A and B are shown apart, each in its own frame.
Chain A
């Protein structure tokens, strides 16, 4: 279970210039040391958490640099069941999956119409969506709490799904509108002439064509939804049965005393880190590019 720190594919065929060979300089070593130190700083805390998660409870503190005297996999079992991490995990999966599907459906629909149809108010609606990128979420959280309460959706998965989706729309619509604009129009026109309906063109022609853009936006949304903290904190108000990982784990840690089951908490932390690290290891180049594209746009 220590994949936390497994470095991704390292067989990097860095184009080493032929001329460079033999001209080793002391500054190179200095550069490598600098980079290696930061690599260690990046990974060590994660590795420490992963190793600590296997320690017996009385070794969690006090021996940070030592391996466990015995490797206790049952920490993970206790975390999953006793500390409700399993419940949190399940809640997170339900909420993120629901919100992700809904976000992608709604944002592609809105973005497609905004990108491809001319009608009065088109630009205005685009800016209404885009302006959501400017508002800090904490300005809205308290009224949002009451909006969700009035709908009777506090402490529910549906309430969280709707909230996650609504707050993911500005970025998604903004990005996908730009993307739909770059797609060629000829295929859609041909389909129309062949008698395809507007929505038929969208679902059968445009969505498949827009796949690369949709995948980027979905990855970005997956990571930010999986990591969301403020929305569940406000909309769940520490209700354990619907808590997601970030919120539930933070609350658990805050409530622990000195005699707490720390090893199970560390195991819970590792469990909550794994999905994003696995998604990253699979899609790492795409994710890094997607993040950067999202930032520059």
Chain B
């Protein structure tokens, strides 16, 4: 039987493992190797140039602008999304609590969380197309709404002005993500025993005290997960930028992000492809992601509240 067992193990693992190594592991390894070369990606010319690509990164202004934009995203996107997600989840699930009564949600809570989840279902690519039209200065729904409210939208459009473009794309990302975090935090809230809220309500805590002194500390694990997930989104952001502002250089690179910059170095037809350099950008981004993930876990790790 032993022989049969090992043959079975090998026959079941060979194909998935082979496919995974060929399509996922080897490209990642190759990317690291290519980052030390001057390969364009399309010629036979390939020379190892040591850390030259990485040195070039340090003095590449566009790379630094892209990095700064990622940094802005990394701060703003999680903060705004988590704040809104927590607020809505709290209102939906606990908002209906009366003093001394059973902790309960507002009427229509299921309707709200179902509707909030809609945007999250759609592909980032599709919503980027949709919002590009919504921001269109020629009668898009956003500038028209602004005019109706008496605010003058920028003449070049929200996506066409360096001052507003980054905020416009951040808005889309927040719109896309909030529903998911409402559901995530709702699941977290459901895991908290009701009597904790009831006891607090009996002790005279109002809903604001309850939120900051009870809900938030007990949800800290979920908030931490949310930070990591949104951080990963903030460090990618390729699809939204590539579709909504395909030429960030036309708006002073105000929406350029590292992933998109990498893509244009490797694939864009109008500049000479610099695959080795693009790989160096990728490796830098990978280590940045890893460092930040480790950092976030460390910073957000607070003393866990135990429910006895």
Contacts and interface: CB of A to CB of B under 8 A. Distances in A.
Interface of A: 7-10, 12, 14-17, 19-20, 23, 27-28, 31-32, 34-35, 38-39, 41-46, 48-49, 60-65, 106-107, 109-110, 112-114, 117, 119, 125, 128-129, 132, 134-136, 138-144, 146-147, 162-163, 165-167, 169-170, 173, 197-199, 202, 223, 226-230, 233-234, 237, 245-247, 249-250, 253-254, 262, 266, 269, 272-273, 276-277, 280, 284, 287-289, 291-292, 295-296
Interface in B126-154: 126, 128-134, 136, 138-141, 144-145
Given A110-B13, A277-B121, A198 B106 contact: no
A249 B122 CA distance: 14
A29 to B, nearest CB: 11
Given A42-B118, A227-B122, A140 B31 contact: yes
A276 B124 CA distance: 13
Nearest to A167: B24
Contacts of B144: 64-65
Contacts of A292: 183-184, 187
Contacts of A170: 20, 24
B96 to A, nearest CB: 7
Contacts of A43: 115, 118
B125 interface: yes
Contacts, number: 297
A106 B19 contact: yes
Contact of A246 (B8, B120, B123): B123
A291 to B, nearest CB: 7
A34 to B, nearest CB: 7
A143 B263 CA distance: 12
B24 A42 contact: no
Contacts of A269: 126, 129-130
B197 interface: no
A82 B126 CA distance: 19
Interface of B: 4-6, 8-9, 11-13, 15-17, 19-20, 22-28, 30-31, 34, 41, 84, 87-88, 91-92, 95-96, 98, 100-102, 104-126, 128-134, 136, 138-141, 144-145, 175, 178-180, 183-184, 187, 207, 222, 225, 229, 232, 235-236, 238-239, 242-243, 246, 259, 262-263, 266-267, 275, 278-279, 282-283, 285-286, 289-290
A162 B19 contact: yes
B270 to A, nearest CB: 14
